[in-house]
């Protein structure tokens, strides 16, 4: 992902667990959005949507706004794919 980002530009999805300091990436994305829409950064926050697609090949292009991330993990729980909920 990092090599593709450097050579070809923004990837279709970002490997969040690959960042040493993912908070920096998330803050940078807020700054980019705030500047593009000319709104104060302290007036915006994140919204999340879980996707049914699980493979990078399933995403043909980046979203019009925001970004896709992958590589998140749960401790002490699991994702139930059938019911789309978190199980103990």
- pLDDT tens digits along 57-77: 888 888 888 888 888 888 899
Give the C-alpha distances (Å, rounded to integers) separating 52 from 55, 58, 69, 78, 81: 10, 10, 13, 15, 8
Q: What average pLDDT does the segment 7-13 reach?
A: 87
Provide the mean pLDDT of the chain: 88
The model's pTM: 0.78
Pairwise CA distance, residues 61 & 70, whole Å: 15
Using alpha carbons, select from 16, 7, 4, 3 the residue that is nearest to residue 67: 16
pLDDT of residue 39: 95
Residue 54 has pLDDT above 80, yes or no: no
């Amino acid at each position: 992902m990092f090599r593709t980002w450097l050579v070809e530009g923004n990837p279709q999805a970002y490997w969040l667990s690959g960042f040493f300091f993912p908070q920096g990436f998330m803050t940078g994305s807020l700054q980019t959005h705030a500047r593009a829409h000319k709104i104060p950064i302290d007036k915006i926050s994140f919204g999340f949507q879980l996707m049914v697609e699980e493979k990078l090949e399933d995403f043909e292009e980046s979203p019009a706004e925001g970004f896709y991330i992958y590589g998140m993990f749960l401790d002490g729980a699991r994702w139930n794919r059938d019911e789309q909920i978190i199980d103990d």
